[in-house]
Amino acid sequence: MEHIEPNNQLNLFENNEAMQNVLMEQANEILDTLLDFKAIMMYYSAAIRRLRTKLEILNTEFEVKYQRNPISNIQSRLKSQVSIMEKLNRKGLPITKESIEENIHDIAGVRVICSYVDDIYRLADALVGQDDIELVVKKDYIVNPKPNGYRSLHLIVRLPVYFTDGTHYVTAEIQIRTIAMDFWASLEHQIKYKKKINNPEVVAGKLKQCADIISYTDIMMQNIRKEMDDEQAEDADLAEQLYEKLKRFDVTLGE
């Protein structure tokens, strides 16, 4: 074994200690960054919970007033850290707390699935009309579908979330679409990420055709429902009207 003079041993020890300090400082910085990131994600997670509650309350209100749930299902997700990094990289943006908050608007994502197209707009208007919701961007892919046939109403909203250190304003993306539009989008999404597709143009053509059929069906279904609603309103005698009112008492208020 190599013999180290006592003086050199001391140097080595000091060097090791200095090295350890540098590593500890670096680890400290990395942990601070990660904790910053965790705090941001906590704000977005809180925003999702606030939005879900708002949507659930609107759903109950519609049920009490009109005996019909506009919302069939609510899904939500927090964008993964890897996806956030990928998106920033793709856009050539720096990976910092500020850059994330400024440029990525879909970290908090809420998808609302409705039965009918008119419910989508009624719900969107009711939500955006609330005092603490600011509409940042609205993309109406129902009126203006994407060339591939994608239909959905996208809202980027900004809302406050309250913590002990104050109020934080965060953005969230809300996608609102019908059950049929959602069915289409999930298949199209799966196909998009498939590595090998035989005849991609043929598949794209078929998907576009399905999207158009779905859009037609959505409108037909909505018209049938409206006709039924109108008939019911016109024909109901007093006994039926009383029965309809009594049914409202059965609505679960979500307490």
Would you name the residues annotated as active-site residues? 173
- The string of DSSP codes covering 117-171 is HHHHHHHHHHHHTSTT-EEEEEEETTTS--TT----EEEEEEEEEEETTEEEEEE
- Find the Cα–Cα–Cα–Cα dihedral 121, 125, 128, 129, rounded to 10°: 180
208 touches ligand 0O2 (CB under 6 A): no
Give yes or no for residue 150 binding ligand 0O2 (CB under 6 A).
yes
21, 33, 148, 217: which one binds ligand 0O2 (CB under 6 A): 148
Give the residue with the Cβ less far from ligand 0O2, 51 or 185. Answer: 185
DSSP, collapsed to helix, strand or coil, labels residue 77 as strand
Residue among 185, 207, 211, 214 that touches ligand 0O2 (CB under 6 A):
185
Sign of CA dihedral 210, 216, 219, 221: negative
Secondary structure letter of residue 253 according to DSSP: -
Smallest distance from ligand 0O2 to CB 232, Å: 36
Tell whether residue 139 is a contact of ligand 0O2 (CB under 6 A): yes
Contact 110, 172 (CB under 8 A): yes
Judged by CB under 6 A, which stretch of 46-54, 144-152, 162-170, 203-211 contacts ligand 0O2? Answer: 144-152
Residues in the chain: 255
47 near 106, Cβ under 8 Å?
no
Closest CB to ligand 0O2 among residues 58, 181? 181
| Options 17-25, 28-36, 185-193, 218-226: segment touching ligand 0O2 (CB under 6 A) | 185-193
CB of 189 to ligand 0O2, least distance (A): 4
How many residues bind ligand 0O2, per CB under 6 A?
Answer: 9
Exposed, middle or buried: residue 253 (CB in 10 Å: 0-12, 13-18, 19+)?
exposed
Q: Does 75 bind ligand 0O2 (CB under 6 A)?
A: no
Rule CB under 6 A: say whether 153 interacts with ligand 0O2.
no
For ligand 0O2, the closer CB: 122 or 139: 139
106 part of the interface to ligand 0O2, by CB under 6 A:
yes
Residue among 31, 44, 138 nearest 100 (CA)? 44
154 near ligand 0O2, rule: CB under 6 A? yes
Q: Using N-to-C axis directions, what is the helix angle for 117-128 and 6-66, rounded to 10°? A: 120
**Minimum distance of ligand 0O2 from residue 207's CB (angstroms):** 9
Binding site for ligand 0O2 (CB under 6 A): 106, 139, 146, 148, 150, 154, 185, 188-189
